[in-house]
Amino acid sequence: MSNTFVVDTSKSKYVRLKPVSISSVKLTDSFWANRIKLMGEVTLPLQYQIMEETGRMDNFRIAAGKIPGEFSGFFFNDTDVYKWIEAVSYFLAINKDEKLDKLVDSVIEEIRDAQDTDGYLDTYFTFSRKQDRWTNLKDMHELYCAGHLFQAAIAHYRVTGKTNFLDIAIRFADHITEVFGPGKREGVPGHPQIEMALVELYRETNDRKYLDLAKFFVDERGKGIIGGGTYHIDHKPFRELDEIVGHAVRSLYLNSGATDLYMEIGDKTLWSALERLWDNLVTKKMYITGTAGARHEGESFGDPYELPNETAYAETCAAIANFMWNYRMLLTSGEGRFADVMELALYNGVLSGISIDGKEYFYVNPLADRGGHRRQRWFACACCPPNVARTITSIPGYMYSISPEGIWVNLYASNVSEFDINGSKVAIEEKTDYPWEGLVEFKVDADSSFSIFLRKPEWSREFSLNVNGERFEPALEKGYMVINRRWQKGDTVTLDLHMRPEFLESHPGVKDNVGRVAIRRGPVVYCVEAEDNPGVDVWDLEIPKDTKISKEYRDTLGGIVAIKGEGYINEPGLWEKLYLPLDEANRLKEGIEFTAIPYYAWANRTPGPMEVWIKTK
């Protein structure tokens, strides 16, 4: 229970930051603590129920010969079970729940019984399909399924100390290392994921063969083994990549694995490629919500600045993958720009993927809609629901990092946490109403010298900082404010990030957004939705750039800060014709008051039009 890390860089050589255990951070805020509680009370039990209803659990029983039948669903359905176990494991790291703990053990028993004698485990490739194992890596996701199994098993072991799932993972991993590698079978996964899982398995077991196999899969990519196309990011070697392309989730998972690999071997050509890809993503291909993937075709990135709103794919899993990758980049570098993207994706592209009540999900996350796009209870391809669950339950593990210099505050939320800094025990109590307010207060219990690094978010143009009630001017180090001193029990730090609503414009190359603005307050991106603007088609709304906008607390939608302001709509009957002369089209418009809500909260009420990017003049 002491080392419940999501990504364990505690022994990695080429990193700036080390992780903090999930179990060391007790969230006390209403925003994240309530969402994690909802995971345990509603989301995770309901997901298990649906996995039973949809045959995902029966697939393991059929493979084990316990019940008759044929495999049902997509060939990668095993991964939904694995991600669910990972989500429950992180939940158990900070919440005692005997019922969920026993349920997980029963699921692991079903998985164990389905494992072949040689260690292979994939319920699709049993009985008559056994002869097809490892014959179609491009399409059939065997290595992808294995990677999710490994990650879930590691999480379960770190949280519970039980080896029942880790033993299964090691047997399967050993089988894979016997099949693939230099001088053995050639191949790379069509859907990257196993790369980061193998590195994490190496970190947990200290068995070098897993790291070597992760390196093999990264090195072999780009040789055309799986077709040489951009969809699979197989068109050129990873170290030569300069543009982020292909299937968005696959690409971002591959980048995550390559970052994990770099943290262990320090190959600077890997880091150079990762820097190029990151810059290309955030300056040309990332949505304002922190997610990615412009095209439904191939679930893929588009051309530079191709970021349509109504037809955006913006898969929930892509936002999660972006969060995962940027966390690894942050651990490697200690640079706040990566935590900025984590925060952006988390509060917008990730959270939009699940309903306020924790029961329904988005697969696709458009930034404009006429009211027809609604969350679903489940999907035939259900990668997103358990992915959202494992991300939310692991949130405490991302809040802080540590280094020999001290404690790094990456994300802000009320919590009580404990740290070991160079052998000295440190406790911190943090209080804040983030993300609704930028005031953050820390109470430190320590008797040693170290630095506290407070991230200065990209959105914060002004801030003030006090230590023990006195103004403090910190040094700024790559996006972090540095406070170095000898800390004593009762020391306080007060940070005010001066949060205010603001309009954002996009690069003129983003054609859908020309002549439009979006509203952001702190890390939260806003949208206008029909429910809050009765009698108005929000697609007709126009906001002057100099209009005054203000905040308003609301108890609806789980508790939010809404944004209110003055705007205009067309005079009734103005556009009865398809075309009008310019002077008539610019006729005086009718003034109205509009209300905007956080983007993550849309589509939780009566269906109706929604828009993030609003017309302006």
Mean pLDDT of 347-366: 98
Task: State the pTM of this model.
Answer: 0.98
Mean pLDDT of 581-588: 79
What's the rounded Cα separation, in Å, for the pair 64 and 284? 48
Q: Which tokens in the block code for residue 228?
A: 């040489």
* pLDDT value for 588: 63
Mean pLDDT of 504-524: 98
What's the rounded Cα separation, in Å, for the pair 508 and 542? 19
- More reliable by pLDDT, 210 or 1: 210
Q: Is the dihedral of CA 68, 72, 78, 84 positive or negative?
A: negative
Q: Does 172 have pLDDT greater than 80?
A: yes
User: Does residue 393 belong to any structural domain of this protein?
Assistant: no
What pLDDT band is residue 572 in, cutting at 50, 70 and 90?
A: confident
CATH number assigned to the domain comprising residue 428: 2.60.420
Same domain, 240 and 263: yes
* pLDDT value for 2: 59
Q: Does 445 have pLDDT greater than 90?
A: yes
Active site residue 243: no
* pLDDT value for 1: 44
Tell me whether strands 610-611 and 560-569 are parallel, antiparallel or unpaired.
unpaired
* Bridge partners, 481 (sequence order): 454, 476
CA distances from 283 to 105, 305, 329, 509 (A): 45, 9, 17, 11
Same domain, 579 and 484: no
User: Does residue 187 belong to any structural domain of this protein?
Assistant: no
User: Does residue 524 belong to any structural domain of this protein?
Assistant: yes
Q: Which of 383, 384, 527, 542 is catalytic?
A: 383
Q: Does 326 have pLDDT greater than 90?
A: yes
Mean pLDDT of 292-304: 97
Indicate the number of domains in the chain.
3
Burial-class residue 117 by CB neighbours within 10 Å (0-12, 13-18, 19+): exposed
User: Does residue 89 belong to any structural domain of this protein?
Assistant: no
Residue range of the domain that includes 492: 402-496
Q: Which of 204, 299, 315, 430 is catalytic?
A: 299
Model confidence pLDDT, tens digit, residues 535-563 = 999 999 999 989 999 999 999 999 999 99
* pLDDT value for 3: 84
Same domain, 536 and 479: no
Model confidence pLDDT, tens digit, residues 407-429 = 999 999 999 999 999 999 999 99
CA distances from 479 to 159, 335, 476 (A): 32, 6, 6
Task: Tell me which of 496, 513, 529 is where a domain ends.
Answer: 496
* pLDDT value for 582: 87
CA distances from 301 to 140, 248, 287, 455, 507 (A): 22, 6, 11, 30, 17
Q: Does 486 have pLDDT greater than 70?
A: yes
pLDDT, the chain, mean: 97
Q: Are 23 and 93 within 8 A, CB to CB?
A: yes
Active site residue 299: yes
Mean pLDDT of 490-509: 97
Model confidence pLDDT, tens digit, residues 3-15 = 899 999 999 999 9
What pLDDT band is residue 312 in, cutting at 50, 70 and 90?
A: very high
